[in-house]
């Protein structure tokens, strides 16, 4: 079945997406599934990352330790790159996908990341997924070591160091309300994570506050 989950399914409807004005692709690039690759090894990862169209990204794994104490660790996978973002983009405000052009996605359906293929346009714009995106992300588990090495190769630092740096930059962007090119839904999503992030990364939060104007609206609302 490959990336096409159901037979006789209309995976693409450019007319509906035109009317919607490509809302999903403006929010963020779509996810690569492990099945998008014939083989996943050092060579295939370098090859795709060197295209400039893909980033190593992360989903946050939040663990409660004891009362008021929790940790956040990044779980790595690949996604179509967002405009202005780096090959290593573990945490940032999501922006429009780099592959979105005037006429829609630059990729043919066959070459498109499965996360995009499996988001099925609907006339009422309540577009449907054929799969559980979190389950698909979890399938990157056996490749975490390899992706950690990719972070080291491209960012010249460990995942831990890079994640902390990205957290700091995200705090700065939020506190400065640097929301250009970021859709409302993403701003809401990221603000909903702010309490957890500031609890788990207090040093980075304090550092970001020092870097930002204390008149920031967001800062006053915390
Ligand atoms: S898939 Fe749905 S949300 Fe995405 S552009 Fe098409 S209609 Fe809009
Ligand atoms: S790769 Fe194509 S379908 Fe996926 S988010 Fe980018 S423009 Fe949209």
3-state secondary structure the chain: CCCCCCCCCCCCCHHHHHHHCCHHHHHCCCECCHHHCCCCCHHHHHHHHCCCCEEEEEEEEEEEEECCEEEEEEEEEEEECECCCCCECCCCCCCCECCEECCEECCCHHHCCHHHHCEECCCCCCCEECCCHHHHHHCCHHHHHHHHHHHHHHHCCCHHHHHHHHHHHHHHHHHCCCCCCCCHHHHHHHHHHHHHHHHHCHHHHHHHHHHCCCCCHHHHHC
pTM listed for this prediction: 0.92
Residue nearest to atom 6 of ligand 1 (CA): 17
Residue 65: pLDDT band (50, 70, 90) is confident
Ligand 1 centroid, distance to 46 Cα (angstroms): 30
Over residues 150-159, the pLDDT tens digits come to 999 999 999 9
Residue nearest to atom 8 of ligand 2 (CA): 25
Ligand nearest the Cα atom of residue 103: 2
- Ligand 1 pocket at CB < 6 A: 16-17, 20, 22-24, 119, 121, 125, 127
Within 8 A by CB and 6+ apart from 113, the residues are 29, 30, 31, 32, 33, 36, 78, 79, 80, 107
Q: What are the beta bridge partners of residue 90?
A: none
Query: Which atom of ligand 1 lies closest to the CA of 127?
Result: 2
Ligand nearest the Cα atom of residue 12: 1
Over residues 21-53, the pLDDT tens digits come to 999 999 999 999 999 999 999 999 999 999 999
Ligand 1 centroid, distance to 109 Cα (angstroms): 14
Ligand nearest the Cα atom of residue 105: 2
Residue of 11, 109, 117, 125 best suited for mutating to test ligand 1, as the one with most atoms within 8 Å of CB: 125
């Amino acid at each position: 079945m490959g990336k096409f989950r159901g037979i006789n399914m209309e995976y693409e409807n450019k007319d509906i997406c035109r009317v919607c004005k490509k809302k999903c692709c403006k929010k963020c690039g779509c996810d690569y599934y492990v099945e998008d690759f014939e083989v996943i090894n050092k060579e295939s990862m370098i090859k795709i990352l060197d295209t400039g169209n893909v980033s190593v990204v992360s989903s946050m794994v939040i663990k409660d330790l004891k009362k008021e104490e929790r940790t956040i660790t990044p779980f790595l996978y690949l996604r179509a790159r967002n405009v202005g973002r780096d090959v290593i983009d573990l945490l940032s405000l999501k922006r429009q996908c780099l592959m979105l052009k005037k006429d829609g996605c630059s990729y043919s359906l066959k070459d498109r990341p499965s996360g995009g293929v499996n988001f099925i346009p609907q006339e009422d714009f309540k577009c449907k997924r054929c799969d559980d995106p979190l389950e698909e992300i979890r399938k990157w588990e056996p490749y975490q070591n390899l992706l950690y090495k990719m972070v080291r190769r491209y960012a010249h630092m460990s995942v831990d160091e890079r994640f902390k740096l990205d957290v700091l930059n995200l705090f700065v962007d939020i506190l400065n309300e640097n929301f250009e090119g970021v859709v409302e839904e993403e701003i809401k999503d990221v603000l909903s994570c702010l309490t957890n992030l500031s609890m788990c990364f207090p040093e980075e939060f304090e550092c970001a506050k020092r870097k930002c104007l204390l008149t920031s609206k967001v800062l006053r609302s915390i």
